[in-house]
Each structure stands twice: as structure tokens, then as C-alpha cells.
Structure 1
């Protein structure tokens, strides 16, 4: 790959992540990156760097800059959001946190108090600790950002549904302490709560505003 083709790829990426921004802001960002790439190529060639190495350097800079590009874009959306939209997003975020905590604490209480699958103390209940682990790991990976939190809670809801499938596969619905309706109802309850939290986090995520 030539340096020019690598630079063109970077240019397409910049145009992609600025596509729905106000035109003056997008054009300024594109111009800044084009000028930076032009200077970078000229400097590398002046110092005798080979074309292949220059191209790899350009692509490496693009990959290393992806987090910064995302941060810049998210910050810009937040700045240009109307005040009423920001308030709605803050309310949605707080509601999502409340729902997620309620679901997690209720799940822990159920595990500690009476158990959820089979007779009390059934080891199958340990699967729910895996569900909570999905939520915790997802939350840490998301760094509490709403878009990432939405994905984390959606994964937690999916994990809860998987527990129900495994429980049925293990025949736990035949236990005298757990009926089919109880198993379905409990898992549907927690799945719905985690999914509702995911939806609220999605509502709290800043979205592009068109000029």
C-alpha cells in the first residue's frame, strides 16, 4: 500500500465519523486532518523513510487515534444538545441505574433467601452469579458510558435468558420446588428488568443532531 492510499483511507474514515455533524464543523475537521496528513507524508519522505513504512505509520496513527476520535465526536454532540434533551438523557441514565441496581439486588436477595432454581442450595443457582458477572464486567468495560452500559445490560438480559434455557435442559422444572411457570416467570422478570435498563441507557446515549 502506498502512503497516498493509506492517507485516502484515513480521509474516508474522517468523512465517515463526521458525516452527520454540522457542515462547518465537519469540513474544519476534515481540513485539519488532511493538512496534518500532508505534512506527515512530506516530513517522512524528507527524512528518507520508505513508502511502505510511511503507509504503515499512517495506518498505525489512525488506529491509535480511534478512541480520541470517538471522544471528540461524543463531546461535540453533548455540547450541541438542547438543554431539554440533556435533561431527558440525565433522567434516563439515572432511571437505568435504579432499574439495574434493583434487578441485581433483588436477584442477590433471592439467591440468598430462598434460591431460584430447584430446592434451596441447588448449585444451579450459581449460574446467576455468572449473570451478575456479565453485568459487572460489561459495566467496567463501558466505564459507565451510556452506550456501553446499554450493551452491558443487554448482554446481562441475554445471559439471564440463557440461564432459563439451561435450567430447562437440566430438567430443573421437574423439581418439586420449581414449577415451569415459576422458572419462566422469575427469569422473564429479571430479563425484562435488565432489558429495560439497557433501553433506558440507550435513551441516555447522546445521538447525532442534524444541522
Structure 2
């Protein structure tokens, strides 16, 4: 029997999660009301996690701090995408100002490529990502003051953004320490 590698197990879990999601949709009582664009988005998110694992294997380093910083930053982006896409952070998921949150992973991706995934550059990238994360509700408040902030209210939205910004800032600090 062939040995199954860790990479194969990760991809098996990703595929299993996608299949479970598709099966659950088929057997639910409201199958006609399924939001297929959300289903595709979550499937893509699972594939991105598998791709991130591949990237992590490619970046393989003996520095455990770098790996932890990378996982923490990626987890923050993944969670941000999930929350913003599923229920929305500012009001509901249909609120157009939530699209500003796309700036966070885009800046993170571009900064990671420009820094060539080196610790020093990744630290700066995550600090900028944290700043952008915190500025999104500020910009939303300035350009669209009439927007509904949902049940959480303005303070609740700022607290959620602070938590995400803290995740990115801590990841940046870990990258900075990994550089030493």
C-alpha cells in the first residue's frame, strides 16, 4: 500500500469539505433557494486554504516563528473573507461598503509578492494590512454616513475591525521577530 503524504491528506480534507457542502445543499428543504454564488465562493475559499498549505510547503523554513506568523496572517484574511462574505461586517452582506474589505487581501497579496515572502517585507506588509483593516470603517463612515451599521452599531463594527487589525499586527510582529 502506498504511503499517503501529509499534502495528500490536506487536499483530501479540502475536497471532502467541498463535497460535504455540496451534498448538504442538495438535501436541504430549501434547495431551490440556494445562493450558488456563495457556495462557489466558499468552495474557492477552501481551495485557497489548500493552496496556502502548498505555498507554506514551498516556503518551507526551519524558522517556526515565520511559519506561525504566516499561518496567523492567512487565518486573519480567511476569516475576514468568510465573515465579510457570509454576514457582512458593516451592516448586512449586501451592503456595498463591505466591498472595501477586498483591499485587505489584495494589499497583502501584492505586498507578499513584492517582498518575495522575506520576513522583513512580510512584517511591513502585515502592518500596512492592519492599518487598512482599521481604516475601512473610518472611510465608510466618511463616504457613506447614511449606511446602516446593523445591530452591532458603529462601535461594534470598530471593535470587530480592531480585532482583525490586531491579528494582522501580531502577525507582522511575529514576522519581524522571525527576521532576527
TM range (shorter): 0.5 to 0.7
Query: Contact (CA 8 Å) 1:117, 1:172: kept in 2 or not?
Result: no
Rounded Cα–Cα distance in structure 2 between residues aligned with 1:173 and 1:134? 25
Rounded Cα–Cα distance in structure 1 between residues aligned with 2:149 and 2:165? 22
TM-score (normalizing by structure 1):
0.53
Deviation string 1:21-50 (CA, Å, 9 cap, x unpaired) is xxxxxxxxxxxxxxxxxxxxxxxxxxxxxx
Choose from 128, 142, 148 the match for 2:101. Answer: 128
Deviation string 1:157-211 (CA, Å, 9 cap, x unpaired) is 01111102112222267534441232111100110000001000000113xxxxx
Deviation string 1:72-127 (CA, Å, 9 cap, x unpaired) is xxxxxxxxxxxxxx96xx12101101110110100010122111112231111111
Query: Contact (CA 8 Å) 2:72, 2:167: kept in 1 or not?
Result: yes
Rounded Cα–Cα distance in structure 1 between residues aligned with 2:93 and 2:146? 12
Query: Contact (CA 8 Å) 2:104, 2:132: kept in 1 or not?
Result: yes
Question: Which residue does 1:22 correspond to in 2?
Answer: none
Q: Does 1:153 align with 2:126?
A: yes
Query: Contact (CA 8 Å) 1:154, 1:195: kept in 2 or not?
Result: yes
Distance 1:144 1:174, change over 3 A: same
TM-score (normalizing by structure 2):
0.61
Larger radius of gyration: 1
Q: Does 1:181 align with 2:129?
A: no
Rounded Cα–Cα distance in structure 1 between residues aligned with 2:99 and 2:139? 12
Query: Contact (CA 8 Å) 2:123, 2:174: kept in 1 or not?
Result: yes
Choose from 154, 163, 178 the match for 2:136. Answer: 163
Q: Which runs of 5+ in 1 are unaligned?
A: 1-85, 207-211
Question: Which residue does 1:17 correspond to in 2?
Answer: none
